[in-house]
Amino acid sequence: MNNLKDNLKKIFSSKEINSRVMSLGQRLSEDFEGKNPIFIGVLNGSFMFMADLMKSISITCEVDFIKLHSYKGTKSTGEIKLLKETSIDLKHRNIVIVEDIIDTGMTVKHLINLLQNSNPKSISVATLLFKSGLTDLNFNIDYIGFEITKEFVVGYGLDYNQKFRNLNSIYLLQDENTN
- Indicate which residues carry an active-site annotation: 103
CA distances from 96 to 59, 145, 153, 155, 179 (A): 14, 14, 24, 23, 36
Give the span between the Cα atoms of 81 and 68, in whole angstroms: 6
Residue among 65, 116, 67 at smallest CA distance from 90: 116
**Contact call for residue 158 and ligand IMP (CB under 6 A):** yes
Out of 45, 105, 145, 157, name the contact with Mg ion by CB under 5 A: 45
Q: Is the peptide bond before 44 cis (omega within 30 degrees of 0)?
A: yes
Which residue number, 158 or 167, has a Cβ lying nearer to ligand IMP?
158
Please list every residue from 127 through 156 that binds ligand IMP, using CB under 6 A. Answer: 152-154
* Beta carbon nearer to ligand IMP, 62 or 159: 159
Please tell me the distance from the alpha carbon of residue 123 to that of residue 116, in angstroms, as a whole number: 8
Nearer to ligand IMP, 94 or 107 (CB): 107
User: According to the binding rule CB under 6 A, does residue 115 interact with ligand IMP?
Assistant: no
Q: Does 105 bind Mg ion (CB under 5 A)?
A: no
Residues lying near Mg ion in the complex (CB under 5 A) are found at 45, 100
